[in-house]
Amino acid sequence: MEPNPTDLATLARELEGWLKLRSIPIAMKLFEQAEAMEQVPKIRRPQAVHTLDQVVAQAARLGWTVGVTAADLVGEQCRAVVGLGPQDAEWRSGRAMAGVWYASVEDAAAHQAAMSVVPAGRYQALAVSPLASGRLVEPDIALFYATPGAMMHFINGLQWSGYKRFDWSVVGESACADSWGRALATGEPSLSIPCFAERRYGGVLDDEMLMALPPALIAQAIAGMQALARNGLRYPVPQYGIQQDARAGLGVSYQ
């Protein structure tokens, strides 16, 4: 049966089951008015200044529903990726990162230009919440952390029907531009290798990758993983043995 793309609780439960997730799948939504964000049920407002990595982690690791405006986020980088802060000449110059992450101002500016960001000016606030809670009505994207093996199986599910090749970027530091920045800006599934800041401030583990995508595509991937399971292709992948005759193993799935 095709999963219902609007039944967020079921999508979250099935995603956790198929991929054996260790953290909570979450939803993210941008708001044109901060007042609308503040009406989200059980919304928490930060009592300190955070990186957006920390805010995402509060939803994914603690199960909180958190809303932020630009004033709650440290520095222009976190704000700019989700369109809550200026993307002006000073931000584009990357001067703050020159000599820290990049050898020159030119290198830093090239990095800024490579980032996928939500255009500035439209949104005043952002909220994150566990996907299963349903507190964010029609979220823009869903996000989840998983191991590389789980991510590959999820991608296999996405590619089961209506196959397309995925090409993803790695901007390096500020890798949130590769995940939630790109997914919010394009509506496309966006896989990232979390960066230093996500690991230091967001608690991301060494073996975790991050996927961001519209919730409807989770339903598509689950339907694909269901089909793969009928062919004996499941996660976690059972080890077959590096010196065994491969024909018996392949014969389970291939005629």
What is the per-residue pLDDT for 1? 61
Does residue 250 lie within any of the structural domains?
Answer: no
DSSP class of residue 43 equals -
Does residue 30 lie within any of the structural domains?
Answer: yes
What is the per-residue pLDDT for 138? 97
Does residue 106 lie within any of the structural domains?
Answer: yes
Residue 235 contacts residue 20 (beta carbons within 8 Å) = yes
Does residue 76 lie within any of the structural domains?
Answer: yes
Residue type, 222: I
What is the per-residue pLDDT for 160? 98
Please check the confidence at residue 202 and state whether its pLDDT lies above 80: yes
What is the per-residue pLDDT for 6? 77
Q: Name 17's Cβ contacts closer than 8 Å, sequence gap at least 6.
A: none
> Domain containing 13: what range?
8-234
Residue 141 contacts residue 151 (beta carbons within 8 Å) = no
Question: How many angstroms separate the first and last alpha carbons of the chain?
Answer: 25
Residue 3 banded pLDDT, cuts 50, 70, 90? confident
Does residue 179 lie within any of the structural domains?
Answer: yes
Mean pLDDT, rounded, for 242-255: 88
Number of structural domains in the chain: 1
Distance CA 215, CA 195 (A): 24
Backbone angles phi and psi of 209, in degrees to 5: -115, 165
Residue 201 contacts residue 53 (beta carbons within 8 Å) = yes
Does residue 92 lie within any of the structural domains?
Answer: yes
The answer to whether the peptide bond before residue 236 is cis (omega within 30 degrees of 0) is: yes
Tokens for 68?
Answer: 């932020």
Strand-strand pairing, 26-31 and 66-69: unpaired
Does residue 96 lie within any of the structural domains?
Answer: yes
Distance CA 182, CA 166 (A): 13
